[in-house]
């Protein structure tokens, strides 16, 4: 039992003894005579009795009405259509070795206009490639920003996972928050990119750890909020989404892949806000497999 909020000390009233004032009785000197036997208190007026009965009836009527509203709301919630973002799906290999380039707006970078112009001019004259067995990425410059081209590596092929109705509904419901988070992360990475290359240009050197910008700027710049939040998983290894258009998200997967999962993880391996999970089977072998 919990202690009382108002404890009583042993010196105060013992258990079972009331400290309430005695009920008035017809005792000499009490000043409050009781009515004689058989005489009751004056009857309440008819109007007051009617008001009391009306209040009781109103309370009795409201209770079932409120219960009915709660029941209807509960049933409606249970039957409310929900986005189908799990289960079995199919995907297909893409025959192209590269996808159309995408522009990453330079305005996302929080740098001075002079820094922005210097770096974009350098990449307009001389593009840079980052190559690995997984992906090849080209950075080139325009007046508006970085132009990014993603190509398959020597061991991978593009896989297209189409955005079906259920996935579209989930993205439409959450897209504003997902896009805002993605834009913020991309802006921070792009700022670091411009600052690093501004120093390299002034010092006539290269950029240390340039490869880190492959995922944070190039691949992130080729997706939107949905692609930013999903990855493919094969035998416990994650492959980030590398491209997104209005109809599908794309992954670069090993050419021998026959099945994979689409799960909620960012490119850096952190869990994302996507709560679904698809088990995906590829329709045909990779055109480059062999």
Q: What are the pLDDT digits (tens) for 183-226? A: 999 999 999 999 999 999 999 999 989 999 999 999 999 999 99
The chain-wide mean pLDDT, for the chain, equals: 81
pTM for the model stands at 0.72
First-residue to last-residue Cα distance in the chain: 75
pLDDT the model gives residue 40: 44
- Average pLDDT value for residue range 270-282: 97
**Tens digit of pLDDT for each residue in 244-274?**
999 999 999 999 999 999 999 999 999 999 9
Residue 166 reports pLDDT greater than 80: yes
Lowest mean pLDDT, pick from 28-32, 79-83, 118-122, 278-282: 28-32
Domain ranges of the chain: 47-80, 86-282
Helix, strand, coil percentages in the chain from 3-state DSSP, rounded to 5: 35, 25, 40
pLDDT the model gives residue 9: 38
Q: What is the largest CA-CA distance in the chain?
A: 116
Residue 264 backbone zone (phi > 0: left; psi -120 to 50: alpha; other: beta): beta
Lowest mean pLDDT, pick from 1-10, 53-62, 140-149, 226-235: 1-10
Pairing type for strands 248-254 and 135-141 reads: unpaired
């Amino acid at each position: 039992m919990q202690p009382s909020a108002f404890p009583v000390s042993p010196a105060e009233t013992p258990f079972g003894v009331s400290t309430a004032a005695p009920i008035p009785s017809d005792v000499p000197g009490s000043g409050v005579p009781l009515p004689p036997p058989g005489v009751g208190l004056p009857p309440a007026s008819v109007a007051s009795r009617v008001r009391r009965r009306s209040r009781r009836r109103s309370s009795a009527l409201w209770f079932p009405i409120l219960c009915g509203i709660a029941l209807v709301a509960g049933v409606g919630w249970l039957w409310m259509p929900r986005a189908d973002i799990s289960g079995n799906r199919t995907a297909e290999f893409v025959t192209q070795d590269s996808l159309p380039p995408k522009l990453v707006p330079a305005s996302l970078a929080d740098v001075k206009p002079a820094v922005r112009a210097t770096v974009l001019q350098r990449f307009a004259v001389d593009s840079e490639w980052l190559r690995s067995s997984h992906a090849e990425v080209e950075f080139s410059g325009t007046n508006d920003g970085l132009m990014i081209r993603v190509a398959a590596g020597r061991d991978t092929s593009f896989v297209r996972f189409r955005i079906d109705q259920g996935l579209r509904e989930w993205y439409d419901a959450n897209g504003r928050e997902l896009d805002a988070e993605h834009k913020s992360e991309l802006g921070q990475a792009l700022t670091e990119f411009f600052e690093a290359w501004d120093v390299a240009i002034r010092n006539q050197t290269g950029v240390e750890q340039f490869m880190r910008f492959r995922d944070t700027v190039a691949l992130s710049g080729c997706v939107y909020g949905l692609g930013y939040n999903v990855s493919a998983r094969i035998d416990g290894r994650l492959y980030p989404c590398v491209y997104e258009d209005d109809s599908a998200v794309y992954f670069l997967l090993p050419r021998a892949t026959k099945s994979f999962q689409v799960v909620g993880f960012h490119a850096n391996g952190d869990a994302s806000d996507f709560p679904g999970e698809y088990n995906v089977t590829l329709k045909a072998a990779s055109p480059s497999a062999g």
